[in-house]
Chain A
Amino acid sequence: MAEVQGTGGGADFDLSQFYEIFFEEAGENLDQMEQMLLSLDLASADDEELNGIFRCAHSIKGGAATFGFSDVAELTHHMESLLDKLRRHELQPAPAMVDVLLESADASRNLLARHQSGDTGEAADTSALVRRIAALAAGEVPVASAPAPAPVAPVAEPDFETFDEPPAEPEPQAPTPAASESKSGLRSLEIHVGPLERPEQADALRELFRDIPDLGTIESLPSPQADTRVFAVETASSDEDLLDLFIFHVAKEQVRITPRQASVPVPAPAQEDPDEVEARAAAQRPFGFFHDAPGSPIASFGLFEGAPGVPEGETTTAVSAEPASPAAAPRAGGAAKTGQTPLEASSIRVSVSKVDQLINLVGELVITQAMLAQNSQGLDAALYQQLMSGLADLDRNTRDLQESVMSIRMIPMSTVFSRFPRMLRDLANRLGKKVDLVTQGEATELDKSLVEKITDPLTHLVRNSCDHGIELPEVRLANGKPETGTITLSASHQGGSIVIEVRDDGRGLSRDKILKKAAERGIEVSDQMSDSDVWGLIFAPGFSTAEQVTDVSGRGVGMDVVKKNIQSLGGSVDIDSVEGYGMKVSVRLPLTLAIMDGMSVRVAEEVYILPLSSVIESFQVEADSVSTIAQGSQLVKVRADYMPVVALDKTFQVPRTGDAREGNIMVVVEADGSRVALQVDELLGQHQVVVKNLESNYRRVPNISGATILGDGKVALILDTGGLVRRARH
């Protein structure tokens, strides 16, 4: 057998084409492993779960070793060993294990990211993690300061690598002193093989030593019986390893290994450095998790004697295969718990750019369809019956097509929620709090771009709940609450939007504190303010109710930024709280940014679109209910309220032809919790519009959030109500 090569083994195989698939797959496996570790019930760990976690580590290890990322392979190999002991119930799961496995998953992620970006930067040193895992796997209780182990050989760059020399590894326990172990770590053994029906079978053992690098040396010795073969062997491998190799040629019962005094010590090959031999020997001693380490020099394949399918003459035939008790190979029952269906046939990966192109095309189709519908309105239905029914079909199909295409980009909220268990666990530990996380409605779907944009604001809200909301365990107990706080994340569809709630059962908001703080900051407040107005104060820039700045809050993102980010997505935020009992933040978002329900209004010859979500009401205005105040700004009286008037024709300088009177219709819009009245000439109607980005196609225009194409092919601008409100209020 030739030297076992790692990556780039054959010049005709370029493994790098599989790297991307592997990175993606490993990432998924790591995420899944993390989730399963977090949800693992240590007291009664489920076999299914342990097997699932083991399989994740196992898959990553297999791939990493195959594709030559030996640092990842090594780390995951150690993880796998520990997990293997757990799933075989040789060890009881303990919190320290979950900790070290989570950290190792993080480290693996970092190592993979480094490989993915072309091996730039320093590879992280994982030797401390490996030591901790090894200690736990050896059944040791973790101690703060582990004895300093042998240094770990630096991980070689994986461009060029062979798997025939594992890095020397620290040994968590003293090796069992092997008989007649010489200084170089090699042992001299006498091996009897027999009785054999066909003694020449044993000759295969000689080939093993020839084929496997570093296994050692073998020489035939004279044998007392005809049906037995005797060999003198010099090797660094353990008896078990040798038996493992021999089993493919002869039955285990027929092999007897005894120590032997080497009359003539077999010298190590000249170029061998004794230290190297020592290191290699160390790496091959019989620890359950070293003997199959990636790169260990073991036979890399074997054929069972007499097994079905073994071709004639490939191996010597028919040894009476001793009845082997079928070993309990772990049988995973199914992927039900892993939350991942292994069947790929039911899904395909498509790049986002392709989906976006599809959405754009459908957008164009919608516009064309609207144009056709509009142009055919004046036609005589009797004359053009077929055309009309064709257009009606087109209308329906276009709408369905648009919905289906939109749904392609929809991903479940669980992709956001899944990051919180880990974050909260770490955060609660750091703050000395006890927190349970409950998630509801994880399957609720939302457009991918929104999911990406809402992640940060939600993270901030969850952090806030843990940091400012949930009290310390002793405080909770003193207040008659359970010592473990609960943070609930939920997502649900309500009408055309999605509502995401972050609830906690912590201390809630304090009216008095907020009012006091607001007064200090010079914000006008009164004790008569309604609760919701008081809660609204925490969205003021720089407002914080934390009595001391912890390292959790004060990360430069305040509630004001959260609110601004959510509003920029066309969403809104509401707070509800009862002091002493907790707080609830509700975030309402549109399902997608690409399509919007709009109200079209006419101003002179121009058409503008208002986002329907911000329209409150509209009414015809009498001239006497509009009063002009200082600097020519106008107010309109709506019932008991006065609100600023924004005359759109003035704002956008729409030319008015001589005799056209200015509009007498007011549309009340709300943004940032305040309302203004927009003065327009006519309300045209409501329809779904395909939002086109103005910035990427033209440039940013104040008070305009985007553009759309109307049924007649004309471009209409979509108003940025938030901007208009801010402008009128300040």
Chain B
Amino acid sequence: MFSILAVDDSPSMRKMVSFTLTGAGYHVVEAVDGQDAFEKAQTEKIDLVLADQNMPRLDGIGLTRMLRENPKFKTTPILILTTESSDQMKQAGRAAGATGWLVKPFDPNRLIEVIQKVIR
């Protein structure tokens, strides 16, 4: 069973993502911001990270950068959820080592589709 770390500072989004992924048979670890996610990533087995970009304390790109420094997360897929589809944002995502991006709002089915593309 794959474990997904779902990071979002919005409780309703977190609940929805978690519900969607659990329903699709994934194990979900929730985190309320990048810092929280980084701490949880140290102790949990994580197969994929799904992180919102805009969060207090540590944003999605910052989290990506920190995770990539750890050999354990060298190849873990990291998807950044964002409402910004700006070039700058994507360049930064790519430079930080993100696997890909997903635009909000997304439909639950779409989310599952994308995740199935990167973990099977």
* B109: chain A residues within 8 A (beta carbon): 5, 9-10, 13
* B76: chain A residues within 8 A (beta carbon): 308-309
Contact: A304 with B100, CB < 8 Å? Answer: yes
A588 CB, nearest partner CB in chain B, Å: 38
The complex places the Cα of A438 from the Cα of B84 at a distance, in Å, of 39
* B108: chain A residues within 8 A (beta carbon): 9-10, 13, 15
A350 CB, nearest partner CB in chain B, Å: 15
Contact: A65 with B105, CB < 8 Å? Answer: yes
Contact: A248 with B90, CB < 8 Å? Answer: yes
DSSP majority for the B interface? mixed
A335 located at the interface, meaning its Cβ lies under 8 Å from any Cβ of chain B in the complex: yes
A361 located at the interface, meaning its Cβ lies under 8 Å from any Cβ of chain B in the complex: no
* A307: chain B residues within 8 A (beta carbon): 94, 97-100
Give per-residue flags for B68-100: 1 if the beta carbon is below 8 A from chain A beta carbons, else 0: 100000111111000111111111111111111
Contact: B10 with A59, CB < 8 Å? Answer: yes
Nearest CB in chain B to that of A310: its residue:
B99
* B103: chain A residues within 8 A (beta carbon): 292, 298-301
* A270: chain B residues within 8 A (beta carbon): none
User: Which of A94-102, A125-133, A325-333 contacts the other chain?
Assistant: A325-333
A564 located at the interface, meaning its Cβ lies under 8 Å from any Cβ of chain B in the complex: no
Contact: A25 with B10, CB < 8 Å? Answer: yes
B29 located at the interface, meaning its Cβ lies under 8 Å from any Cβ of chain A in the complex: no
B41 located at the interface, meaning its Cβ lies under 8 Å from any Cβ of chain A in the complex: no
Interface residues of B in 44-76 (CB under 8 A from A): 48, 52-59, 61-62, 68, 74-76
Give per-residue flags for A21-40: 1 if the beta carbon is below 8 A from chain B beta carbons, else 0: 11001000000000000000
* A61: chain B residues within 8 A (beta carbon): 83
* B78: chain A residues within 8 A (beta carbon): 308-309
The complex places the Cα of A332 from the Cα of B20 at a distance, in Å, of 28
* A326: chain B residues within 8 A (beta carbon): 92, 95-96
Contact: B92 with A25, CB < 8 Å? Answer: no
B55 CB, nearest partner CB in chain A, Å: 7
A517 located at the interface, meaning its Cβ lies under 8 Å from any Cβ of chain B in the complex: no
Interface residues of B in 97-113 (CB under 8 A from A): 97-110
Nearest CB in chain B to that of A338: its residue:
B56
Give per-residue flags for A42-56: 1 if the beta carbon is below 8 A from chain B beta carbons, else 0: 000000000010110
Most chain B beta carbons < 10 A, residue from A58, A65, A344: A58
The complex places the Cα of A339 from the Cα of B66 at a distance, in Å, of 27
A334 located at the interface, meaning its Cβ lies under 8 Å from any Cβ of chain B in the complex: yes
Contact: B87 with A291, CB < 8 Å? Answer: no
Given contacts A25-B11, A65-B105, A301-B101, contact A308 B83 (CB under 8 A): no
A199 located at the interface, meaning its Cβ lies under 8 Å from any Cβ of chain B in the complex: no
* A203: chain B residues within 8 A (beta carbon): none
Contact: A344 with B92, CB < 8 Å? Answer: no
Contact: B59 with A303, CB < 8 Å? Answer: no
Nearest CB in chain A to that of B97: its residue:
A308
User: Which of A239-247, A364-372, A576-584 contacts the other chain?
Assistant: A239-247
* A302: chain B residues within 8 A (beta carbon): 90, 100-101
A594 located at the interface, meaning its Cβ lies under 8 Å from any Cβ of chain B in the complex: no
* A58: chain B residues within 8 A (beta carbon): 54, 83
* One of B23, B52, B56, B119 near A332 (C-beta < 8 A): B56
Given contacts A4-B107, A25-B11, contact A331 B62 (CB under 8 A): yes
* One of A65, A334, A343 near B32 (C-beta < 8 A): A343
B50 CB, nearest partner CB in chain A, Å: 11
* B56: chain A residues within 8 A (beta carbon): 52, 55, 332, 334-335, 338, 342
The complex places the Cα of A52 from the Cα of B12 at a distance, in Å, of 18
B103 CB, nearest partner CB in chain A, Å: 5
Give per-residue flags for B14-40: 1 if the beta carbon is below 8 A from chain A beta carbons, else 0: 011001100100000000110010000
Interface of B toward A, CB cutoff 8 Å: 9-13, 15-16, 19-20, 23, 32-33, 36, 48, 52-59, 61-62, 68, 74-79, 83-110, 114, 117-120
Q: Which 6 A-B pairs have the closest CB atoms?
A: A309-B77, A9-B107, A65-B105, A309-B99, A22-B12, A303-B100
Can you list 10 A-B pairs with a CB-CB distance of less than 8 A? A55-B54, A65-B105, A163-B105, A240-B87, A244-B86, A292-B103, A308-B74, A324-B95, A331-B58, A334-B56
A-B contact sample (10 more), CB < 8 A, given A62-B105, A301-B100: A17-B19, A18-B16, A25-B12, A66-B105, A66-B106, A301-B106, A326-B92, A326-B95, A331-B58, A342-B33
